[in-house]
Every structure is written in C-alpha cells, then in structure tokens.
A and B are shown apart, each in its own frame.
Chain A
Amino acid sequence: MKINNIRDLELKMCRVLEEMTPDEDSLKYAREVANFSGKLLKAQCVSMAWGEVSGKKQTLPFMERNESGE
C-alpha cells in the first residue's frame, strides 16, 4: 500500500489497529507504525520532505511485513 497523503496513512493505521493481536511481534510492529506515523505527520505538516520521508517509509515499518497484493 502506497502512502501518498495523510488519508492513506490514516487508513493504514486503521488496518494495523484492527489486525493487532496481543503477541509480541504484532505489538512491536504496531509500536513502530505509531512512531513512524508520528514522524510522517510531522514531516508533512511542516511542509517539507513528505516525499523524502514517505520514500524512506517504503523500507521502514509499513513494508517490513509481507503485504503482497497491496
């Protein structure tokens, strides 16, 4: 799933929230997503580096898990 704007990010986070389970891996992943989303939001809102950050994002939490078909 590509994240092009805040709305996409919100949808992605909603999915993470729905799929969250009490196991260690899931919690770790959710924590990474929450932390990284904070950075993305900040970057977009200071109107700098959205492209840069969202580019980096592709190798960061959102893409680390197998999400084929998205």
Chain B
Amino acid sequence: MRNELKKICTKCGEEKPLSEFAKQLERRRSHCRVCTIAANKEYRLINKGRMNEQQRKKREANRFEYRAGCKRRYEANPEKFREKATEYRKAHPETKERVAVIAAKYRENLSAPYINQTLMSRGFIGEQITPDLIAAQRVRIKIIRAIKEKEMK
C-alpha cells in the first residue's frame, strides 16, 4: 500500500492527507480545506454588508453581461427556475405586496427600472437602452401623464 504524504494544518493542528490541502501555485495551503471553508464562512458573515454592496456595484457596472448570464441560465433550465419561484412565493406570501409597493414607487417616480420596463415592452433590448433614450422616454411619459391629468380636470 502506497504511503500517502501528510501535512499538519496550522489552524486546527490536525495531521491530514495532502489532498485535504488546496493547491496554491507550486505548493499546498497551510490551512486544511475544512478550516479554509469555515474561515471563509466567518469572513462572509462578518463582512456581509460590505460584500453585498461590492456585489451590487459589480452587477450594476456589468448589468448587460449579468442579465445575459441570468437569461442563459434560465433558458438552459426554465422548469427549475419556475419551480423555485413558485416555492419561494408560497413560502413568502408577503413578497407579492412588497414587490407591488416597490413597483408602484418606481412607476410614480419614473425611476430607471420602470422606464426600462416600458422600453422593453416596446421591443427594445438591453444594449439599445442608453441613458439618453431613458431620459427621452421619461419626458415622453411625463407628457402623456400631463395630458391625462389635464383631461381629467
């Protein structure tokens, strides 16, 4: 039987097979996989707010790529996503009201997500929606609303 190489983890102090230590360039890490996973988990817990903010900024900076990735994953397995969404709605019935409140706020303030939605419903796709287009559409909606308001009087 082959004698497997072992190494002592500098974190937990246990002697473990070399395969329990992740590779780092030409050598192995000092902490075993179990300790690394636990440390990462702890770090995420402590820095949750900061990491979420970083992720949000990254998503916003690369929103077209991010959305394309979401779409690709959804199209590869739509049933799975639908099931997950149904389960989530069942488990969190308050979501519907919460989403409706947010949507109403966006609609009221003519926020970018609402303008995006109106443009997409007119057949625009992500790359075509530029800040200039959003601004113009916002003014257009303001005109339409003003007309309705004045007609009501």
A residues near B, CB below 8 A? 5-7, 9-10, 13-14, 16-17, 20, 22, 27, 30-31, 33-34, 37-38, 41-42, 44-46
Please indicate the chain B residues that have their CB under 8 angstroms from the CB of A13 in the complex.
Answer: 136, 139-140, 143
Known: A17-B142, A20-B143, A33-B143. A45 touches B133 (CB 8 A): yes
Most buried by B among A9, A16, A37, A45: A45
Main secondary structure of the interface of A (DSSP, over half): helix
CB-CB under 8 A from B146, the residues of chain A are 17, 20, 30
The residues of A that contact B75 with a CB separation of less than 8 Å are none
Q: How far is the CA of A17 from the CA of B140 in the complex (A)?
A: 9
Q: How far is the CA of A31 from the CA of B11 in the complex (A)?
A: 71
- A42 close to B139 (CB less than 8 A): no
Instruction: Check B137–A41 contact: CB distance below 8 A.
Output: yes
| In contact, A27 and B150 (Cβ under 8 angstroms) | yes
Q: Size of chain B's interface in residues, with CB distance under 8 A?
A: 21
Contact sample, A vs B, 7 pairs, CB 8 Å cutoff? A6-B135, A10-B139, A30-B143, A30-B147, A31-B147, A38-B140, A45-B133
B98 an interface residue at 8 Å Cβ cutoff? no
Beyond A34-B140, A45-B128: 18 further Cβ-contacts under 8 Å? A5-B132, A6-B132, A6-B136, A7-B132, A7-B136, A9-B136, A10-B136, A13-B143, A17-B139, A20-B146, A22-B150, A22-B153, A34-B143, A34-B144, A41-B136, A41-B140, A44-B133, A45-B133
B125 to A, closest residue via Cβ: A45
Which residues on the B side are within 8 Å of A45 (C-beta)? 124, 128-129, 133
> Measured between alpha carbons, how far is A10 from B146 in the docked complex, in Å?
16
Contacts of A22 in B (CB 8 A): 150, 153
